[in-house]
Amino acid sequence: VGWFCVTVLLPIGAPIAFMFLYRFLPLPKRNRAMTKLILPIKDGQLCWIGMALCASALYEIDGWSHPNGQMAALLYGYKGWASAGFGILLVACSIMAAGGAVFTTPVRRQAGVPWAEHYGVLIITALFTAVAAGCYTVVHFQIVSA
């Protein structure tokens, strides 16, 4: 649980938590309007965390974090496939992390546009990060229990 909180929950939750704290600061009106909780994640920023999780998973799959390289033996025959999968997921996260910054999502939603359509980048990046976190958690705890 400690590993999961520090490695997965903290990087995802900390920016949102600090954005919440900014609301209590005596900020100018213009800046106060920028303290919406969705702002730090609406343009695909979650994928930066997803990329870090994929990179860590690649590191662990290759057994570099284990003294005996045990994970390499555990996934013998499928290690390359697992690495390729995390590599492809990392590429997808990178596309969204960079592209989200280029095509930023407006804070205000146009009338008649559904929430899911307006915040499509946020939804897909949250999904990628959740998938990366889930797969990395499985890989990590296989090493711990080995």
Partner 1 sequence: MSSWIKNRFRDAEHGRQTLVVSSAAIGAVGFLIIAWALTMATHAGLISFR
Q: Does 128 bind partner 1 (CB under 8 A)?
A: yes
Q: How far apart are CA 31 and CA 26, in angstroms?
A: 10
First to last CA, the chain: 17
Least spacing, CB of residue 58 vs partner 1, in Å: 11
Residue 15 sits at the vertex; the CA angle it makes with 84 and 4, to the nearest 5 degrees, is: 50
Q: How far apart are CA 60 and CA 37, in angstroms?
A: 33
Among 41, 51, 96, 133, binds partner 1 (CB under 8 A): 96
Query: Of 1-9, 14-22, 28-36, 99-107, which part binds partner 1 (CB under 8 A)?
Result: 99-107
Query: Of 4-12, 15-23, 25-33, 69-77, which part binds partner 1 (CB under 8 A)?
Result: 69-77
**Tokens at 87, concatenated:** 């590599």
Least spacing, CB of residue 5 vs partner 1, in Å: 21
Among 88, 107, 109, 115, binds partner 1 (CB under 8 A): 88
Residues 6 or more apart from 132 whose CB is under 8 A from it? 50, 51, 53, 54, 57, 86, 89, 93
Query: Of 9-17, 21-29, 33-41, 95-103, which part binds partner 1 (CB under 8 A)?
Result: 95-103
Residue 9: strand, helix, or coil:
helix
Binding stretches for partner 1 (CB under 8 A): 74-79, 81-82, 84-93, 95-96, 99-100, 102-105, 120-121, 124, 127-128, 131, 135, 138-139, 142, 145
